A and B are shown apart, each in its own frame.
Chain A
Amino acid sequence: MDFTIILQAGIASGTVLLFATIGELFSERAGVLNLGVEGMMLIGAMSAFSATIATGNPWLGVLVAMFFAGLISQIHAFIVITLQADQVVSGLSLTFLGAGISLVLGEGLSKAGTVSLLPNFSIPLLSLIPIIGKIFFTNQSILVYVGYLLVPLSWYYINRTRPGLHLRSVGEYPSAADALGINVFRLRYFYVFIGGMLAGLAGATISLAVSPGWFSELTTGGQGWIAIGLVIFAQWDPIRAAVGAYTFGALRRLILDIQGPLVLFGFANPFYYNPYLGFFLQMLPYLFTVFVLVIGSREAMRKRIGAPAALGNPYVRGERGK
Chain B
Amino acid sequence: MAESTVVKKGRASFKIRVEPRLNEPPAWYPAAVSFGALIVALILGGILISLAGGDPIRSYLHIAKASFGDSGVLSDTIVKATPIILAALACSVAFRMKLWNIGAEGQFIMGAFGASAIVLAPVLPAETPRIIFIPVMMMAGMAAGALWGFIPGYLKAKFNVNEIISTLMLNYVAVAWVNFWIFGVWTEGGFQMSPKFPATASLPRLLEYAEAFPILRGLTTHLGLVIGVVAAVILWFIIFRSRWGYEIRLIGDNPHAAQYAGINITQNIIWVMMLSGALAGLGGMSEVAGVVHRLQTAPVAAGYGFTGIIVAWLAKLNPLVIIVASILFGALILAGREIQPSGVPKMIQGIILVCLIASDFLLRYRIVVERGEE
Task: Chain A residues near B173: list those with CB within 8 A.
Answer: 283, 286-287
Flag if B348 contacts A290 (CB, 8 Å).
no
A316 at the B interface (CB under 8 A) = yes
The proximity string for B residues 146-164 relative to A, scoring 1 for CB distances below 8 Å and 0 otherwise, is: 0000000001000111101
Flag if A290 contacts B161 (CB, 8 Å).
yes
Question: Which of A83-91, A146-154, A187-195 contacts its partner?
Answer: A83-91
CB nearest to B183 among chain A residues: A276
CB nearest to A97 among chain B residues: B350
Measured between C-beta atoms, what is the minimum distance from A159 to chain B in Å? 24
- Near B by CB (< 8 A), chain A positions 59-105 give 75, 78-79, 83-86, 88-90, 92-105
Question: Which of B107-115, B259-267, B305-313 contacts its partner?
Answer: B305-313
The proximity string for A residues 284-309 relative to B, scoring 1 for CB distances below 8 Å and 0 otherwise, is: 00110110011001101100000000
The proximity string for B residues 347-374 relative to A, scoring 1 for CB distances below 8 Å and 0 otherwise, is: 1111101101110110010000000000
Flag if B165 contacts A232 (CB, 8 Å).
yes
Given contacts A103-B342, A107-B52, A276-B183, contact A287 B1 (CB under 8 A): no
Measured between C-beta atoms, what is the minimum distance from B88 to chain A in Å? 14
Question: Which of B174-182, B206-214, B216-224, B242-250 contacts its partner?
Answer: B174-182
Flag if A287 contacts B349 (CB, 8 Å).
no
B169 at the A interface (CB under 8 A) = yes
CA distance A47 to B360 in the complex (A): 31
Given contacts A222-B168, A276-B183, contact A96 B342 (CB under 8 A): no
Given contacts A276-B180, A279-B179, contact A89 B313 (CB under 8 A): yes
Task: Chain A residues near B313: list those with CB within 8 A.
Answer: 89
CB nearest to B155 among chain A residues: A294
> Does more than half of chain A's interface fall in helix, strand or loop, or is it mixed?
helix
B198 at the A interface (CB under 8 A) = no
B300 at the A interface (CB under 8 A) = no
Q: Which of B49, B169, B358, B361 has the most CB of A within 10 A?
A: B169
Given contacts A84-B361, A228-B165, A232-B165, contact A283 B177 (CB under 8 A): yes
Task: Chain B residues near A107: list those with CB within 8 A.
Answer: 52, 340-343
Measured between C-beta atoms, what is the minimum distance from B46 to chain A in Å? 12
Task: Chain A residues near B48: list those with CB within 8 A.
Answer: 101, 104
Flag if A93 contacts B354 (CB, 8 Å).
yes
Flag if A225 contacts B165 (CB, 8 Å).
yes
Flag if A276 contacts B102 (CB, 8 Å).
no
Given contacts A86-B357, A232-B162, A297-B162, contact A97 B351 (CB under 8 A): yes
Partner of B184, one of A84, A225, A274: A274
Task: Chain B residues near A297: list those with CB within 8 A.
Answer: 159-162
B191 at the A interface (CB under 8 A) = no
CA distance A60 to B349 in the complex (A): 31
- Near A by CB (< 8 A), chain B positions 89-128 give 100, 102
CA distance A301 to B162 in the complex (A): 13
Flag if B155 contacts A290 (CB, 8 Å).
yes
Flag if A277 contacts B184 (CB, 8 Å).
yes
Measured between C-beta atoms, what is the minimum distance from A152 to chain B in Å? 27
Given contacts A83-B361, A107-B343, contact A293 B165 (CB under 8 A): yes
Flag if B353 contacts A104 (CB, 8 Å).
no
Partner of B169, one of A103, A225, A298, A301: A225
- Near A by CB (< 8 A), chain B positions 9-47 give none
What size tier do the contact residues of chain B reach? 35 or more
B344 at the A interface (CB under 8 A) = yes
Flag if A290 contacts B176 (CB, 8 Å).
no
Measured between C-beta atoms, what is the minimum distance from A238 to chain B in Å? 19
CA distance A98 to B351 in the complex (A): 10
Measured between C-beta atoms, what is the minimum distance from A178 to chain B in Å? 14
Task: Chain B residues near A228: list those with CB within 8 A.
Answer: 164-165
Flag if B353 contacts A97 (CB, 8 Å).
yes
Measured between C-beta atoms, what is the minimum distance from A148 to chain B in Å? 27
Task: Chain B residues near A83: list those with CB within 8 A.
Answer: 358, 360-361
Flag if A100 contacts B169 (CB, 8 Å).
no
CB nearest to A295 among chain B residues: B159
B170 at the A interface (CB under 8 A) = yes
Partner of B343, one of A90, A93, A104: A104
CA distance A298 to B161 in the complex (A): 8
CA distance A35 to B172 in the complex (A): 17
Flag if B357 contacts A89 (CB, 8 Å).
yes
Flag if B361 contacts A85 (CB, 8 Å).
yes
Flag if B172 contacts A286 (CB, 8 Å).
yes
A267 at the B interface (CB under 8 A) = no
Partner of A283, one of B176, B356, B364: B176
CA distance A242 to B186 in the complex (A): 41
CA distance A283 to B340 in the complex (A): 33
Question: Closest 9 CB pairs between A and B?
Answer: A103-B343, A100-B347, A276-B184, A97-B350, A96-B350, A107-B341, A93-B353, A279-B180, A100-B346
Can you list 26 A-B contacts (CB < 8 A)?
Answer: A75-B354, A85-B357, A86-B357, A88-B164, A89-B357, A90-B354, A96-B346, A100-B347, A100-B348, A101-B48, A103-B347, A104-B49, A104-B343, A106-B343, A107-B342, A228-B164, A228-B165, A276-B185, A277-B180, A282-B176, A286-B170, A290-B161, A290-B170, A293-B165, A300-B160, A316-B1
Binding site for B on A (CB under 8 A): 35, 39, 75, 78-79, 83-86, 88-90, 92-108, 216, 222, 225-226, 228-229, 232, 274-277, 279-280, 282-283, 286-287, 289-290, 293-294, 297-298, 300-301, 316-317
Query: Beyond the given A97-B350, A279-B180, could you list 18 further A-B residue pairs with CB under 8 A, ordered by the A residue number?
Result: A79-B354, A84-B364, A85-B357, A93-B353, A97-B353, A99-B346, A103-B341, A103-B346, A107-B341, A225-B169, A229-B165, A276-B179, A276-B180, A277-B180, A279-B176, A279-B184, A293-B165, A297-B159
